[in-house]
Amino acid sequence: MPPGVWHSLASGCDKVTPEQAYEAVRVHTVPGDARRRSGWPDKNRLYDYVWLVYSVFFFIEPIARRNLRYWLEFAAVYGVFLAIYSGLVFARTKVQSYLLLIAMFALGLLYLPYNNSACGMLVYVAAFIPFISDSLGLVAGTIASLCGAIALEGYLLHISPWAWGFPAFFCVVVGGTNLLTSQKIRSKATLQLAQEEIEQLAKLAERERIARDLHDVLGHTLSVIVLKSELAGRLFERDPQRARQEIGEVEQVSRKALSEVREAIRGYRSEGLIAEIERAHRTLDAAGVILTCESKPPSLLPAEETVLALAVREAVTNIVRHAQASQCLMRFDTEKERTSLTVEDNGRGNIRQEGNGLRGMRERIESLGGKFSIDGKEGTRLSIDIPVRSA
């Protein structure tokens, strides 16, 4: 039997999913519920019967003897061999495969004294075991046991070394070749599974990113729209001019929100830190909160600037929504390799748990290797510290 002839045992793995391929290599399952319901065997499994051509060597001794009784005995043994072979091809569990291998091993040893050419059954065991077990020790031990059993039985029965030497040699060659082949198939299936998992994780991360961005964009702008709409409603009778001005700003903010949503979809997160601070001034002024920025925003690379800009936006949104504050202090501190941002207000504080906005802020900051902390004992104080590269 030439090396590698059993590569077909896994020939169908490239045509199924990675999960099915891995299981098909290990336990020879028949993937697909439709095939099991129809009762018609998979054509790739039928292709495995091609390798029964090497069982032609089993017929050498019966042909040479020309004895009817011997032929009948051989036909019974060969029928059992075919049944075991079919069971291995269509086995659905690992336990079934191991039991069938043991049965074929025993059949080969028991029939060897009556038909020396039938020791090729043990070569079939060596061919199957690498595709059933993923344990290198078990496969190597099985092949070694096959060679030892063939040699021992040949010695005890005084069989010519040539008669048992060739089967032992082919057990090593076929078993070793199929071991390499099965390892390649398993590695390919594992790699495909890893690639699918990476793709799923990337999709999940992108969905989370979009959710955070939309929350930051819409949460902030909708809060401003609600605030200005309420203010315009209160001013409608006593100061119509101011009310019209507020309504005009509502329109501008709405258009800006639409533009920001489009930018977020395209992946552009913000216009920059300076623009965000200017927007914060306008928003807090409309809410009756005095914003004091004690230091000039640093010059940063886009990744760091985007994170800080979104942090400013989320902080301002929370002040407008929840803080009931009258003053807000914003401060930037820049060192050689780090930049910190502090945003504090004199509102009610008492933050018990992080919402989606604060959680998204923390995730973005920590993704850059930064630190985020919040103190709500007296008002609210957000502290952000991130490592920066030269802009």
What is the per-residue pLDDT across 302-356, written as a single tens digit (0 to 9) for each?
888 888 888 888 888 888 888 888 999 999 998 878 899 999 999 887 776 777 7
What distance in Å separates the CA atoms of residue 280 and residue 2, rounded to the nearest whole number?
A: 78
| 271, burial (CB in 10 Å: exposed 0-12, middle 13-18, buried 19+) | middle
Q: Which pLDDT score is estimated for 265?
A: 59
Q: How confident is the model at residue 19 (pLDDT cuts 50, 70, 90)?
A: very low
- CA atoms of 21 and 188, how far apart (whole Å): 9
Mean pLDDT of the chain: 78
pLDDT at 264 over 70: no
- Average pLDDT of the residues in 4-28: 39
Strand 327-334 relative to strand 290-293: parallel, antiparallel, unpaired?
Answer: parallel
Residue appearing with tokens 């998979």: 42
Of 96-100, 124-128, 196-200, 330-334, the poorest mean pLDDT is in 196-200
Tell me the domains of the chain and their CATH numbers. 5-199 (no CATH), 272-391 (3.30.565.10)
State if pTM tops 0.85.
no
Higher pLDDT, 26 or 112: 112
Q: Is the pLDDT of residue 35 over 70?
A: no
d(CA 111, CA 74): 9
User: What is the token pair recorded at 46?
Assistant: 């039928």
Nearest to 341 by CA among 314, 320, 302, 318: 314
Helical segments of 39-135, H only? 43-47, 60-65, 68-90, 94-111, 120-132
